[in-house]
């Protein structure tokens, strides 16, 4: 009888739908806020950086575009690294990297330096924190997954609501460079978020064939007979290729590319990224171009964030009740989001902009609250880590091109025309309609 091999065997634990999972929700809540929440609040810095470097709206918007694209493009790396090492270590390293990027950006002497520091370094740090954290959250919840995702995603709204006026205060009292230094200190809290992560799968040492009725796995010892050295080359190469594919698929499930359902949903993500980030980035400059003073302009982002929070909680709860199919709920919210963006050019007073910000925040939150949950429904929770990586990778083109394309609609590439800001939001509406189609 051939000897048994002693090796670690993973024992899958059922999602607890609570317990320590609520600490994972807290960690994901902070990660959402300190990544996408910071990106949405970055519109406060937009005008100041543009004036400091005497540059155009399009050139300045590349800072956010590169950050968003790097988050999406780096997501597969975050997924693979967390599978190879652990979500905790990868998230903590990502938090440190994003902090370094922000602090270095505070001392930037040119726009290309800001592109690299704030755009690339911080963006890649966000990618290493967001993907492993959201994947871990999916492991801890099953029946309550829509509610858990909705609660955790509210961190983006609350951080935007609280820090937008704070960033405006720092810009007014000190400078945009001091604001970036503050952001660098905040990014270090992502390391704490990583420390909260704990893998759900427990590993134990077992002797195969002696416990749990598992089949024996013979150890692959080389025979000492003379014929053993003359193994067929084709068989050896085929086995090597198979072993390589199995190792790669363990960390990156590339078979998802062949899934029609996944690829169609990824196209939704691509067009979503084209239209999702531009409104928040240009809302404050749009209000300033209408003659609205700085703090009232910044308050528009806070109003949008407050209604965003309401939308995520309410519609996340509706999705958790399973009253209607989740895909139908997503279709309705996307159509509403496009309609609200189309109406933005009609808003020319502060009161009208408040109404637009409230409506946009509500339907945006309703859409975002379920789109990650919907991805888990499409591919299954066991493939969620790799699916998130590829989904974000496909979205990267939209995140990179969305804000610059919006900036091109401004006459002379300068923030000075109400009419062309309206064209900006009409562009976002067109992209949202593509999301539905």
Domain coordinates in residue numbering, the chain: 20-200+256-436
Residue 151 near residue 101 (C-beta atoms within 8 A): no
> Please, which pLDDT band fits residue 135 given cuts at 50, 70 and 90?
confident
pLDDT, greater one: 229 or 107: 107
The CATH number of the structural domain formed by 20-200+256-436 is 1.20.1250.20
The strand pairing partners of 4, in sequence order, are 218
Over residues 389-428, the pLDDT tens digits come to 777 777 767 666 666 666 555 433 344 444 444 444 444 5
CA–CA distances in Å: residue 162 to residues 33, 158, 192, 217, 303: 10, 6, 20, 57, 10
Q: Mean pLDDT score of the chain, rounded to an integer?
A: 75
Indicate yes or no: pTM above 0.85: no
Over residues 80-118, the pLDDT tens digits come to 888 888 899 999 999 999 999 999 999 999 899 999 999
Cα–Cα distance measured from residue 133 to residue 253, given in angstroms and rounded to the nearest whole number: 18
Residue 44 near residue 298 (C-beta atoms within 8 A): yes
> Please, which pLDDT band fits residue 191 given cuts at 50, 70 and 90?
very high
Cα–Cα distance measured from residue 101 to residue 113, given in angstroms and rounded to the nearest whole number: 10
Over residues 298-332, the pLDDT tens digits come to 788 888 888 888 888 888 888 878 888 888 888 88
Chain-centroid distance of CA 169 in Å reads: 27
Question: Helix (H, G, I), strand (E, B), or coil: what is residue 208?
Answer: strand
Cα–Cα distance measured from residue 158 to residue 161, given in angstroms and rounded to the nearest whole number: 5
* Residue 258 confidence (pLDDT) above 90: no
Lowest-confidence pick of 58-67, 252-261, 334-343: 252-261
Neighbours of 203 (CB within 10 A): 10
Backbone φ and ψ of 144, nearest 5°: -100, 20
Q: Which stretches of 254-349 are DSSP H helices?
A: 260-276, 278-289, 294-321, 326-343
Question: Can you read off the two tokens belonging to residue 213?
Answer: 């009725």
């Amino acid at each position: 009888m051939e000897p048994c091999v002693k090796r670690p065997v993973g024992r899958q634990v059922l999602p607890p739908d609570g317990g320590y999972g609520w600490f994972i929700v807290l960690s994901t809540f902070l990660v959402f806020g300190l990544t996408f929440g910071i990106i949405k609040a970055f519109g406060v810095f937009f005008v100041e950086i543009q004036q400091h470097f005497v540059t155009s709206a399009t050139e300045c918007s590349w800072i956010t575009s590169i950050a968003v694209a790097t988050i999406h493009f780096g997501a597969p790396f975050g997924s693979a690294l967390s599978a190879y090492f652990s979500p905790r270590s990868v998230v903590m390293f990502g938090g440190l990297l994003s902090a370094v990027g922000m602090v270095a950006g505070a001392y930037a002497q040119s726009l290309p330096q800001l592109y690299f520091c704030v755009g690339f370094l911080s963006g890649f740090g966000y990618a290493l924190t967001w993907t492993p954290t959201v994947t871990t959250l999916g492991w801890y919840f099953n029946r309550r997954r829509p509610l858990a995702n909705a609660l955790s995603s509210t961190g983006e709204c609350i951080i935007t609501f609280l820090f937008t006026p704070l960033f405006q205060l720092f810009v007014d009292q000190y400078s945009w460079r001091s604001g970036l230094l503050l952001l660098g200190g905040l990014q270090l809290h992502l390391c704490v978020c990583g420390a909260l992560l704990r893998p759900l799968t427990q590993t134990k040492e077992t002797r195969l064939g002696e416990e749990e009725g598992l089949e024996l796995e013979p150890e692959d010892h080389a025979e000492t007979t003379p014929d053993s050295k003359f193994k067929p080359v084709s068989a050896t190469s085929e086995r090597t290729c198979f072993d390589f594919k199995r190792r790669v698929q363990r960390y990156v499930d590339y078979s998802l590319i062949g899934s029609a359902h996944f690829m169609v949903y990824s196209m939704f993500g691509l067009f979503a990224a084209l239209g999702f980030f531009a409104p928040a980035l240009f809302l404050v400059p749009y209000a300033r171009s209408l003659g609205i003073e700085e703090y009232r302009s910044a308050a528009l982002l806070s109003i949008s964030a407050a209604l965003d929070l309401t939308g995520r909680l309410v519609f996340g709860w509706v999705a958790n009740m399973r009253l209607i199919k989740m895909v139908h709920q997503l279709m309705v919210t996307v159509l509403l989001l496009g309609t609200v963006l189309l109406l933005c050019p009609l808003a020319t007073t502060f009161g009208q902009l408040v109404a637009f910000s409230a409506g946009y925040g509500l339907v945006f939150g309703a859409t975002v609250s379920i789109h990650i949950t919907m991805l888990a429904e499409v591919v299954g929770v066991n493939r969620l880590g790799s699916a998130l990586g590829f989904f974000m990778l496909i979205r990267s083109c939209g995140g990179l091109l969305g804000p610059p394309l919006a900036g091109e609609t401004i006459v002379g590439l300068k923030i000075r025309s109400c009419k062309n800001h309206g064209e900006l939001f009409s562009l976002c509406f067109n992209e949202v309609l593509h999301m539905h189609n």
